[in-house]
Structure 1
Amino acid sequence: MTISTTSSATGTDGSAPVPALRVVTRRIADPGDLLALVPADLPATQVFSWLRRGDGIVGWGAAGRVDTSGAERFAEASRWWTALVAESSVDDEVRLPGSGLVAFGSMAYSSSSPAGGTLIVPSVVVGRRGDQAWLTTCTPAGEATPSVVLEPSTVPAASAGVSFGDGSLTPTQWMGAVATAVSRITAGELDKCVLARDLTARARTPLDTRTLLQRLSTSYPNTWAFSVDGLVGATPEMLVRLERGLITSRVLAGTIRRTGDDERDLSLAAHLARSSKDLVEHEYAVRSVADRLAPHCDSINVPESPFVLHLPNVMHLATDVAGVLSSRSTSLALAEALHPSAAVCGTPRDVADTLISELEHMDRGRYAGPVGWLSADGDGEWGIALRSGAISADDPREIRLFAGCGIVAGSDPAAELAESDAKLVPMRDALSS
């Protein structure tokens, strides 16, 4: 585990230094487009976003950071956060979700991934929720609160000359992996397996994180446009939200591509809602979320049937699971309990995860892992890092894009490839000029 701070104290476990921060949150007039406030020329690792329909939080800089790895990546991050909260002083006159002391975070899908996990406290956070907006500054304890001038700027157009290439597997090879998974499922080894594929993209000029976020949030307003440590995307799936004791989780599984013809799409939505293959896949995902939330809840509500969520490029079967928190768990701890859900792994989890390692031939990194934010009181929002890409830390002109599909007994490899192509559309369009 590595720590980057300016002033520090010893963590609660005696091993990890943490920053002692002075955090000040003040109300401000509506600042307009939050993404336009993010300064230009920042590296992707220092641009943070969690936005939906223009509301949410953006941030930049790094007042404190922890990087973790392995099976303890969630627990190490949680210990660091607990110690940081204890060491920091917070003056928050707004007291809304996302105000005060917050950290943005993302966690690798696999404990074996070198991508590990991270929590980062931005130096500056600007937020809006409904008709209220705020500015938060985080500085080392003992230093004066800085004066921050918010100056909107024009977000540039997409980087020029973007070219795409195959990732770890060609489309034909990936369809072969799907066929193998179907045969294993048919043989009774497992019920469902989620297989992902990647694409590479390279631009002639460095990628601007603000541009990607602007395009994603504008084109896909029903998703959460996120950016954490170079991981950028627009996820439609809320893994878990914890707000004042109420837990909610949106489960997506079962997908069909839109045609652009409204009547045809309505017919396809009705077909999706009746599809036995997609309903079975969805049931696995909902059951896995409900089972893992149950130990943390006094009560839990699971709707009897899903609804169809309409996005610009695809439609999903969706279910919103809700519960009342019974423990002292934080949103990050709940994210750990839910990860990986059947929506990104499969059922049974251990068997599916082993098959993923065998067939994908790639490291997912932080794709399909939890991504979101955490507040001082433990509340927060964590989505699943879907419809996303990871900007290269070595070359800001390069990015890896990811998409995955749930494979069950009735899956057809060619249809799954088409579904994965549809799921790659948001990031491809955000990159293209």
Structure 2
Amino acid sequence: MIAPEARRTGVASALVHTLSCDVDLSAASGARWLDAVRRYCPPQVDPWIWVAPDTDDAPAMVGWGEQARFTAHGHGAAEKAFTAYSSWAAEHPDAAPVAFGSFPFSRDADGFLVVPAVLLVRRHLGESTVVFGADSPQLHRRDGDLPVIDTLLLDLDADQWRHAVTTATTRLSQDSELEKVVLSRSVSVRASAPMDRGLVAARLSGKFSGCWTYCHDGLVGATPELLVDCRDGLFRCRVLAGTRKPSWSHELLHDPKEHREHELAVASVTGRLAEAGLSEPAVRGPFLLELPNVTHLATDITARVTTTNAAHIVDVIHPTAAVCGTPRELAYQLIEQTETIDRGRFAGPVGWMSPDGSGQWALALRCGQFSPDNQSVRVHAGAGIMPSSDPDKEWIETRAKMEAFTSVLEG
């Protein structure tokens, strides 16, 4: 259910300014823009962040504080929260023009849309950075470094993982209807002192410039998988399934297991486009998406947007087979029966919405959930399990995915 009323913890003014800065940020890469703009966030305040790849021509945003928060859970949670937000926005035309959003993988937990009290946004590469809700924000944060990592705890050891994967492959072999399930694991990292979430996000953006970087209520990551992009009457998403370490990436082009896994992930999106209010789909892929730590099989899907909004599309498409399995409900049930960890918002939708229904959402992958004191972070990764999956290879895959996040904590 939607909260009875939006929770307000600050009020943004009608002030709108162009950010004055020592360097020209209009033409800066998204990573460079983020590294500069995050420094305006006041001390002891954690930022809201969204930065898309430069090739995406999407808004780059840093905000802080909350003017309003809208929560919802269950089926249709994203659209429930969006409906409340859009009604509120109609009565508050001077508020920041976007709400940051994040929803969990489980339907039983609350997700949210938050309107920041202050927002710094560059709408397109080459444009000035505009400030909403503050009069001439000041630089606060100096260059620094992250504290030393002194503890790394496995939430699931290799033997427990092997048991979980074997249980899943046995079920997949016995149930002709169930074709794929995605299992996840996590590690907990503790530092010698609080970590700066904004600095972690900036490092991720710099290292993985082709990904969507986010920082939403302690969930920080840089994901390569775009769930929903709904802007200017067009829909776009990027589906990933099938993974190898870079030195083994050639195997992706010839491995029947990886190709079948990828086909199921693509079908889980294309099969729901009409229900989501989309038409005239075009599919490009699969192709190899090469990242610094892993290589994926990827497919891009585009379509026309009819009478729908980004939140509704999220509710219809998520969870895809890339993070859940096929068929969806059977895989979801097997995950609940097999996984011993709480995914939280890992593998859930993360992104932003505008009151007009446009928005951009990714799957919360390559991420970590920070503790309230910022001194520890729980890092998640998942792997698609097929009947022929090898538990040891899937362990290697999840470790490689986690390294995308943990590597930036180590300098």
- 5+ residue gaps, structure 2, are none
Alignment partner, residue 396 of structure 2:
418
Is 1:254 aligned to 2:256, yes or no?
Answer: no
- Cα distance in 2 for partners of 1:163, 1:362 equals 19
Equivalent of 2:282, from 301, 308, 317? 301
Alignment map for 1:187-266 (pairs within 5 Å) = 187=174, 188-259=176-247
Which position in structure 2 is the counterpart of 1:126? Answer: 120
Q: How far apart are the structure 1 equivalents of 2:268 and 2:149?
A: 42
Query: In structure 2, how many angstroms separate the alpha carbons of the residues matched to 1:43 and 1:27?
Result: 22
Q: How far apart are the structure 2 equivalents of 1:318 and 1:40?
A: 39
Write the deviation string for residues 183-207 of structure 1: whole angstroms up to 9, x where unpaired: 1111125100000101111112112
* Counterpart secondary structure, 2:343: coil
Q: Distance in 2 between matches of 1:162 and 1:302?
A: 46
- Aligned residue runs from structure 1 range 280-299, under 5 A: 280-295=260-275, 296-299=277-280
Match of 1:76 in 2: 80
Do the aligned partners of residues 292 and 189 (structure 1) sit closer, same or farther apart at CA in structure 2, a change above 3 Å counting? closer
**1:105-116 to 2 correspondences below 5 Å:** 105-113=101-109, 116=110
What amino acid sits opposite 2:194 in the alignment? P
Rounded Cα–Cα distance in structure 2 between residues aligned with 1:349 and 1:3: 32
Select between 102-111 and 26-35 the one with higher mean Cα deviation.
26-35
Q: 1:129-140 counterparts in 2 under 5 A? A: 129-138=124-133
Q: CA 1:107 to 1:335, structure 2 compared with 1: closer, same or farther past 3 Å?
A: same
Distance in 1 (alpha carbons) for counterparts of 2:35 and 2:116: 15
CA–CA separation in structure 1 for the residues paired with 2:355 and 2:82: 11
Give 3-state SS (helix, strand or coil) of 1:335's partner.
helix
Number of aligned residues: 390
Task: Tell me which moved more, 124-133 or 382-391.
Answer: 124-133
Q: Structure 1 length normalisation: TM-score?
A: 0.85
Q: Which moved more, 1:346-355 or 1:169-178?
A: 169-178
Larger deviation: 370-379 or 32-41? 32-41
Corresponding position of 1:367: 346
- Per-residue deviation at 1:147? 1.0
Give the gaps of 5 or more residues in structure 1: 8-18, 92-99, 139-145, 260-267
1:257/1:313 contact within 8 Å kept: yes
Give the direction of change, closer, same or farther, for the CA distance of 1:23–1:175 in structure 2 (3 Å limit).
farther
For 1:3-40, what per-residue CA distance to the aligned partner results, in whole angstroms no more than 9, with x for missing partners?
Answer: 32169xxxxxxxxxxx8x65554545644633333325
Residues 7 and 68, structure 2, Cα contact 8 Å, conserved in 1: yes
Aligned residues of 2:19 and 2:136 also touching (Cα < 8 A): no
d(CA) in 2 for partners of 1:247 and 1:75?
17
Q: What is the alpha-carbon distance in structure 2 between the residues aligned to residue 152 and residue 53 of structure 1?
A: 26
Query: What secondary structure does 1:340 align onto?
Result: coil
What root-mean-square deviation, in Å, do the aligned CA atoms of Structure 1 and Structure 2 show?
Answer: 2.1
- 8 Å Cα contact 1:158-1:430 kept in structure 2: no
Structure 1 residues 57 and 6: alpha-carbon distance in aligned structure 2, compared to 1, 3 A threshold: closer
Shift of 1:134: 2.6
Q: How many angstroms apart in 2 are the aligned matches of 1:23 and 1:256?
A: 49
Match of 2:167 among 171, 180, 194: 180
1:363 deviates by 1.4
Q: Which structure's residues are more often strand, by fraction?
A: 1
**C-alpha separation in 2, matches of 1:206 and 1:197:** 24
1:4-403 correspondence runs (5 A): 4-5=7-8, 23=14, 25-28=16-19, 30-31=24-25, 33-38=33-38, 39-44=41-46, 47-53=47-53, 56-71=60-75, 73-90=77-94, 101-113=97-109, 116-128=110-122, 129-138=124-133, 146-151=134-139, 153-167=141-155, 169-187=156-174, 188-259=176-247, 268-295=248-275, 296-303=277-284, 305-327=285-307, 329-393=308-372, 395-403=373-381
1:131 is displaced (CA, Å) by: 0.6
Shift of 1:79: 2.2
Aligned CA distance change for structure 1 residues 317 and 180 (closer, same or farther; 3 Å)? same
Question: Is the Cα contact below 8 Å between 2:370 and 2:377 reproduced in 1?
Answer: yes
Shift of 1:279: 0.6
Secondary structure of the structure 2 residue equivalent to 1:255: strand
Report percent identity of matched pairs: 36
Letter in 2 for 1:302: V
Aligned partners of 2:135, 2:8: CA distance in 1, in Å?
21
Change over 3 Å in CA distance of 1:220–1:152 after alignment to 2: farther
Cα distance in structure 2, aligned partners of 1:332 and 1:42? 31
Q: 1:214 to 1:162 in 2, by over 3 A?
A: farther
